[in-house]
Structure 1
Amino acid sequence: MARRILEVDDIQQLRQGERGAWLSIAAYIVLSGLKLTIGFLFLSEALQADGWNNLTDIIASVAVLIGLRISQKPPDEDHPYGHYRAETIAALIASFIMATVGLQVLITTVRSIFSGSSTVPNMLTGWVALGCAVVMFGVYTYNKRLADRIRNQALLAAAQDNRSDALVSIGAAVGIFGAQLGMPWLDPVAALTVGVIICKTAWCIFRDATHTLTDGFDELQLNNIRATIEKTKGVCAIRDVKARLHGSHVLVDVVVLVDPQLTLIEGHLISDNIESRMKRKHNIASVHVHVEPLAEALEHHEHT
Structure 2
Amino acid sequence: MMTKLLIRLFLRDPENGNQSQLRERYGKLAGWVGVATNLVLFFIKLLTGLVFHSIAIMADAFNNLTDSASSLVTLFGFHLSAKPADAEHPYGHARIEYIAGMVVSFLVVMVGFQLAQTSVGKILDPRPTEFGTALLIALIASVLLKVWQGLFYRKISRTIDSTALLASSQDSRNDALSTGAVLIGLLISYFTGWQLDGWLGLGVAVFILVAGFRLVIETANPLLGLAPSKEMVDDIYRRILSYPGIIGLHDLNIHNYGPDRCFASVHCEMCADRNIVESHEIIDRIERDFLTDSNIHLVIHLDPVVTGDERANRLKIYVEESLRAVSDEITMHDFQAVWKPEDSRVIFDIVVPYRFSWSDERLTEYLSEKIKSQEPQCESIITVDHDDSPPPRER
Tell me the TM-score normalised to structure 2 length: 0.65
Q: 1:231 to 1:112 in 2, by over 3 A?
A: same
Q: Name the counterpart of 1:119.
A: 128
Q: Using the alignment, how far apart are the partners of 1:180 and 1:73 within structure 2?
A: 54
Percent of residue pairs identical: 24
2:270–2:279: 8 Å Cα contact kept in structure 1?
Answer: no
Q: Which ranges of structure 1 fall in alignment gaps of 5 or more residues?
A: 1-6
Which residue of 2 is the match for residue 258 of structure 1?
Answer: 269
Specify the alignment match of 2:252 in structure 1. Answer: 241
Assess if the C-alpha contact under 8 Å between 2:248 and 2:270 holds in 1.
no
What do residues 254-300 of structure 1 show as CA deviations (whole Å, max 9, x unaligned)? 323323244443454356447746876xx553333333234581232
Instruction: Find the partner of 1:65 among 62, 72, 75.
Output: 75
How many residues end up aligned between the 2 structures?
292
Find 1:288's aligned residue among 268, 291, 299.
Answer: 299
Change (3 A) 1:201 1:66: farther
* TM-superposition CA deviations, 1:149-198 (whole Å, max 9, x none): 22333233222322322233333322222222315332112322343344
Query: Cα 1:292–1:81, aligned 2, differ >3 Å: closer, same or farther?
Result: same
In structure 2, give the amino acid aligned to 1:226: V
Change in Cα spacing, 1:182 to 1:79, as seen in structure 2 (3 Å) is: same
More helix by share: 1
1:298 pairs with one of 301, 324, 335: 335
Q: Cα deviation per residue 1:223-272 (whole Å; 9 max; x = unaligned)?
A: 22221233231444332223343222352423233232444434543564
Contact 1:237 1:258 in 2 (8 A): yes
Q: What secondary structure is seen at the aligned counterpart in 1 of 2:108?
A: helix
SS at match of 1:175: helix
Question: Which of 221, 224, 241 lines up with 1:211 in the alignment?
Answer: 221
Structure 2 residue runs of 5 or longer lacking an equivalent are 1-16, 307-332, 337-347, 350-379, 383-395
Q: Are residues 1:21 and 2:57 paired?
A: no
Alpha-carbon contact 2:83-2:92 (below 8 Å) kept: yes
Runs of 4+ more than 6 Å apart: none
SS in 2 for 1:253: strand
Partner Cα separation in structure 2 for residue 53 and residue 97 of structure 1: 10
Rounded Cα–Cα distance in structure 1 between residues aligned with 2:284 and 2:218: 31
Give the RMSD, CA atoms, in angstroms: 2.8
* Most deviating of 293-302 and 271-280: 271-280
Residue 70 of structure 2 aligns with an amino acid whose one-letter code is A
Q: Which deviates the most, 236-245 or 22-31?
A: 236-245
2:278 aligned with 1:269: no
1:187 aligned to 2:197?
yes
**By how many angstroms is 1:77 displaced?**
0.3
Deviation digits for residues 11-45 of structure 1, max 9, x if unmatched?
A: 34212310110100100001022123213432445
Larger mean Cα displacement after TM superposition, 8-17 or 56-65 = 8-17
Structure 1 residues 239 and 19, CA gap change in structure 2 (3 angstroms): same
Q: Which amino acid aligns with 2:103?
A: I
Say if 2:44 is the partner of 1:37: no
Q: Which residue of structure 2 lines up, in the alignment, with residue 227 of structure 1?
A: 234
SS at match of 2:301: strand
| Offset, 1:210 | 1.5
Q: Which has the higher contact order (CA 8 A, sep 6+)?
A: 1
Pair 1:226–1:161, CA change in 2 (3 A): same
User: Residue 356 of structure 2 aligns with which residue?
Assistant: none
**Amino acid aligned to 1:265:** E
Secondary structure of 1:80 counterpart: coil
Distance 1:126 1:285, change over 3 A: farther
1-side partners of 2:216 and 2:95: how far apart?
14
